[in-house]
Amino acid sequence: MSSAANLSPNELFAPPRGVRCRELLRLDEFESTQHIVQFYEDESLVIENISYLAAKAMAAGNSTVLVATETHLELINEQLARFGLNLDALRESGRYVTLNAAEALSQIVVDSKPDKAKFADVIGGIVASAAKNSANDFVFVFGEMVALLCAADNADAAVRLERLWNSLAEQHRFSLYCAYFPEQPW
């Protein structure tokens, strides 16, 4: 019988029930740098997916950055604690970073649109720092800022923010998972 300490992250964590996109299962792997967007009606499936990917990434020595609503951050933290991760130690080491999506937006938006320099400074700085603290200079990122912009009926700003994320991916190794809840009251 093997102990949990001797198991790989793939053996420790079973894939969540809601994964319909096979590429989603690879977002936590440092060899994979992708940007995946998914639309969900069942938010519990997305919470499971994010928690699974974040746990696997951190168990493998990589970092996780979550830019989500306060409610979703709480739900994800509960799931991650169930995986037995020491979130306080991971935060202290700079390998687990959480940001309130609305607060993050307020730091990077100027005149109702994301500012390139502010995004690079705030979000780029956080991703760069998390990458440095990672075993493989890799970060798994989950983001809901674009979803908030869409919910505010600011599609131009949402598209601009997606482009800023893609530009940031040219400078740092990370995979980005964005989820949109069509019926979600923000």
**Spatial contact of 173 and 131, defined as CB atoms under 8 Å apart:** yes
Q: What's the rounded mean pLDDT across residues 14-31?
A: 52
pTM (2 d.p.):
0.81
The reply to whether CATH 3.40.50.300 applies to domain 34-180 is: yes
**Spatial contact of 63 and 140, defined as CB atoms under 8 Å apart:** yes
Average pLDDT across the chain, whole number: 82
Q: What's the rounded mean pLDDT across residues 86-104?
A: 97
CA–CA separation, 144 and 150 (whole Å): 10
pLDDT at 186: 42
For a pLDDT cut of 70, what percent of the chain falls above it?
A: 74
**Spatial contact of 66 and 90, defined as CB atoms under 8 Å apart:** no
For residue range 36-63, list pLDDT tens digits in order.
Answer: 655 566 777 888 888 988 998 899 899 9
For residue range 127-163, list pLDDT tens digits in order.
Answer: 999 999 999 899 999 999 998 998 899 999 999 999 9
How would DSSP label each residue in 89-155?
A: HHHHTTSEEEEEHHHHHHHHEETTEE-HHHHIIIIIHHHHHHHHTSTTSEEEEEE-HHHHHHHTT-H
Domain boundaries, the chain: 34-180
Q: Is the pLDDT of residue 11 over 60?
A: no
Q: What's the rounded mean pLDDT across residues 85-108?
A: 96
Tell me the backbone φ, ψ of residue 175, rounded to 5 degrees.
-110, 140
**Gyration radius from the chain CA atoms:** 16
